[in-house]
Amino acid sequence: MTDAPRTAKLTFDDKELDLPMYSPTAGPDVIDITKLYAQGGVFTYDPGFTSTASCDSTITYIDGGKGELLYRGYPIDQLAEKSNYIEVCYTLLYGELPTEDKLIDFERKITTHTMVHDQMQFLFRGFRRDAHPMAIMCGVVGALSAFYHDSTDISDPEQREHASIRMIAKIPTIAAMAYKYSAGQPFVYPDNKLDYASNFLRMCFAVPAEEYVVDPILAKAMDRIFTLHADHEQNASTSTVRLAGSSGANPFACIAAGIACLWGPAHGGANQACLEMLREIGTVDRIPEYVARAKDKSDPFRLMGFGHRVYKNFDPRAKVMKESADEVLDLLGIENNETLKIAKELERIALEDEYFVSKKLYPNVDFYSGIILDAMGFPTSMFTPIFALSRTVGWITQWQEMLNDPSQKIGRPRQLYKGATQRDYVDLDKR
Ligand code: SDX
C-alpha cells in the first residue's frame, strides 16, 4: 500500500477540491494551489504574502518563533563566530562549506575581479555630489550590463557563474566609489593583497595623501556585519530579484532591482532610519515619548529597528550585532556612547511594554548595526549601501536557484479587482 499523497480538502459552493500538500525539511507544511484557479475558478488572496510560499528553496531557513537563522543549515551565530564572509559566500552559492583548496580558489576568483571597467568612473559624474549613495548604486549596478555583455546570457550556466563572481567581487568597489564620490574624495582602487572586508575599508577610508593601515579589529567587525546580512529567505528585496529574474532580465538588472527595493525604510533603509531615530530621541529621558508615539495608531511613527514579519522572537543577528557593538566601541575607546545607551534603554523599556510584548516586537538586525557603522566612521547614508553589499551574495544565490528550478516560470500574480465593471465611453461634451 503506497502512502497516498497528503491532500487538503477545500470545499466551497458546489466544489470540493483535493489540493496536494508537501512537507519541508523544516518549517510549516504547504498546500499546493497551482491548480486552484484551473480547477476551482478562484484565486487565493494574500496581500504582503503573509501566508504564501513563493518557491521552494534550500538556501536559508528562518525559525521566527525560536529566533533561528540557518545558511545552508549552519546557524548564523556559529558562522559569525567561526567563519568569514568569503567562506559564507561560497557556502551560500555552492551549498556546502568549502575545503581549504576550494576556499583558496574561490577567494582568488573574487579578488581578481574586484576592479570595475575604468570607464565606469565617468558614470558617477552624472550624479550630484549630494546624491544618496543608494541612488548611485542603483544606477551603476544596473549599468554593469552595459559593460559586461559576456555574462548576461542567463541561459548559459558559465555566464551565470561568471556574473555571480563579478557581482560579489565588484559590489564593494562600487559601494566604496559611491561613498568617495559623495565625500568629494578620489576613488581608491582595490588592493589584491587585502581580504574582502579590509579591501572595502581601505577603498572607503584611504586617501592618496597618506598611508592607510586597516585596523584588523575593524576589518573583523566589518566582515561579521557582511556575514550577518548575507541572506534571509524570501524577503522583499530577494523576492524582487527573483521576480525580475523570472522575466529573463540580466543578472545586473536584477541586482539593481533588489538594491532599489532594499532602500525602503521598512526594509534595508531601517538601519539609517534607526540611527537617525536614536539621535532624534537624544537622551534616555525622552524614550517614553517615542515609545508612546510608536504605540499611537494615529501616529505613523514606528520604532525603527523593531519588529519583523518572520521573527516573533529576538532576531539572532541583532544579538550578535549587540555583542559586536559593545566590542567595537570598547576597542575604539568610545566611552559612554550616548546612542548605544539610548538603544539599550529603549530595548529594555520596549521589551517590558505590553504593546511590544503582545505584538512580539523585538529588535531586528537594523537596531544595532548603525551604531557600529557610525563608530567605524561611516556616514548614515552608507548604512544601507553596506547592507546591499552584504546581501548581494544572497540575491545572486537566490537568482541562480530560481533559474535552476525546472518548474520556474515568469512570476505573474493575479488580483482581487474592485474597480468599475465595463461601461461605455462618454464624449467630452456629454460629461
Ligand atoms: C529588514 O523580511 C526580511 O527578512 C527583512 C530583513 C532582511 O534581512 O532582509 O530582515 C531586513 O527589513 C528588517 C526590518 C527592518 N524594518 C524596520 O525596522 C522598520 C520598523 N519595523 C516595521 O515597519 C515592521 O515591523 C516591519 C515592516 C519590519 C514588519 O511589518 P509587518 O510584518 O507587516 O508587521 P505589521 O506592520 O503588520 O506589524 C504588526 C503590528 C502592527 O500593529 P497592529 O496593526 O497589529 O495593531 O505591529 C505593529 C504594527 O503597527 N508594529 C510596530 C512596529 N512594527 C510593527 N509598532 C511600532 N513600531 C514598530 N517598529
Q: Residues 173-203, buried b or exposed e (16+ Cβ, 10 A)? A: bbbbbbbbbbbeeebbbbeeebbbbbbbbbb
Order across the sheet with 68-71: list the strands.
60-63, 68-71, 74-75
Write out the DSSP string of 100-126: HHHHHHHHHHHHTT----GGGHHHHTT
CB 93 within 8 A of CB 397: yes
Given the CA of residue 359, which atom of ligand 1 is nearest to it?
47
* Ligand 1 center from residue 311 Cα (angstroms): 10
What is the C-alpha to C-alpha distance for residues 406 and 75, in angstroms, rounded to an integer? 29
Which ligand 1 atom is the nearest neighbour of the CA of 302?
58
Ligand 1 neighbourhood includes 291 CB (under 6 angstroms): no
Our answer on whether the CB atom of 272 is closer than 6 Å to any ligand 1 atom is: no
293 lines ligand 1 (CB under 6 A): no
**Which among 52, 364, 383 is the best mutation to test ligand 1's pocket, defined by most ligand atoms within 8 Å of the CB?**
364
User: Is residue 4 predicted with pLDDT exceeding 80?
Assistant: no
Q: Give me 74's grid cell.
A: 549552519
Q: How big is the CA angle at 52 (ends 306 and 256), to the nearest 5 degrees?
A: 65
| DSSP element (H, E) containing 20 | strand 15-22
d(CA 387, CA 366): 9
Sorted by sequence, the CB contacts under 8 Å of residue 313 that are 6+ apart come out as 64, 65, 66, 67, 360, 362
Residue 308 catalytic?
yes
pLDDT band at 332 (very low <50, low <70, confident <90, very high): confident
Arithmetic mean of pLDDT over the chain:
95
Task: Write out pLDDT tens, residues 235-277.
Answer: 999 999 999 999 999 999 999 999 999 999 999 999 999 999 9
* Whole-angstrom distance, CA of residue 211 vs CA of residue 32: 60
Q: Which of 62, 321, 361 to mutate to test the pocket of ligand 1 (most atoms within 8 A of CB)?
A: 361
Q: Are strands 60-63 and 15-22 parallel, antiparallel or unpaired?
A: unpaired
pLDDT tops 80 at residue 361: yes
Which pLDDT belongs to residue 336? 77
* Ligand 1 in reach of 365 Cβ (< 6 A): yes
Q: Are 26 and 63 in contact (CB under 8 A)?
A: yes
**CA 308 to ligand 1 center in whole angstroms:** 5
CA atoms within 13 A on the CB side of 338: 11
- Give the three cell numbers for residue 66: 525560536
Catalytic residue chosen out of the listed positions 132, 223, 308, 374 = 308
| pLDDT tens, residue by residue, 73-132 | 999 999 999 999 999 999 999 999 999 999 999 999 999 999 999 999 999 999 999 999
325, containing H or E segment:
helix 316-331
Q: Is the CB of 361 under 6 A from ligand 1?
A: yes
The reply to whether ligand 1 has any atom less than 6 angstroms from the CB of 102 is no
- The pLDDT score that the predictor gives to residue 3 is 61
150 is catalytic: no
**How far is Cα 3 from Cα 277, in angstroms, rounded to an integer?**
56
- Residues 259, 209: Cα–Cα separation, whole Å: 33
Res 335 pLDDT > 80: no
pLDDT over 60 at 2, yes or no:
no
- CA–centroid distance, 294 to ligand 1, in Å, is 12
How many beta carbons lie within 10 A of that of residue 427, not counting itself? 6
Q: How far apart are CA 8 and CA 40, in angstroms?
A: 14
Q: Do 21 and 32 form a contact (C-beta atoms < 8 A)?
A: yes
287-311 per-position pLDDT tens digit? 999 999 999 999 999 999 999 999 9
Q: Is 318 exposed, middle or buried (0-12, 13-18, 19+ CB in 10 A)?
A: buried
Least reliable range by pLDDT among 137-141, 159-163, 169-173, 328-332:
328-332
Per-residue b or e along 378-407, where b marks 16 or more CB atoms closer than 10 Å to that residue's CB: bebbbbbbbbbbbbbbbbbbbbbbbbeeee
- Is 359's C-beta closer than 6 angstroms to any atom of ligand 1? yes
pLDDT tens, position by position, 382-421: 999 999 999 999 999 999 999 999 988 999 999 999 999 9
Give, using CA atoms, the residue closest to atom 39 of ligand 1.
Answer: 359
Between CA 63 and CA 306 the distance in angstroms is: 17
Cβ pair 236, 49 in contact under 8 A: no
Spacing, Cα 420 to ligand 1 middle (Å):
33
Active-site pick, 366, 374, 405, 424: 366
- Exposed (0-12), middle (13-18) or buried (19+): which is 9, by Cβ within 10 Å? exposed
Characterize the bridge pairing of strands 15-22 and 7-12.
Answer: antiparallel
Any idea of the CA torsion for 251, 252, 258, 261, to the nearest 10 degrees?
A: -140
**Cα 407 from chain centre:** 25
Q: Whose CA is nearest to atom 52 of ligand 1?
A: 302
Cα of 266 vs centre of ligand 1, distance in Å, is: 7
**Which residues touch 181 (CB under 8 Å, ≥6 apart)?**
124, 127, 129, 131, 133, 136, 187
Q: What is the pLDDT of residue 196?
A: 98
Mutate to test the pocket of ligand 1, among 308, 386, 387 (most ligand atoms within 8 A of CB): 308
- Phi and psi angles of residue 15, each rounded to the nearest 5 degrees, phi first: -110, 150
Quick: pLDDT tens for 200-241. Answer: 999 999 999 999 999 998 999 999 999 999 999 999 999 999
- pLDDT for the residue 1: 45
48 CA to centre of ligand 1 in angstroms: 12
The number of beta carbons lying within 10 Å of the beta carbon of residue 243 is: 19
Copy the grid coordinates of residue 368. 544595532
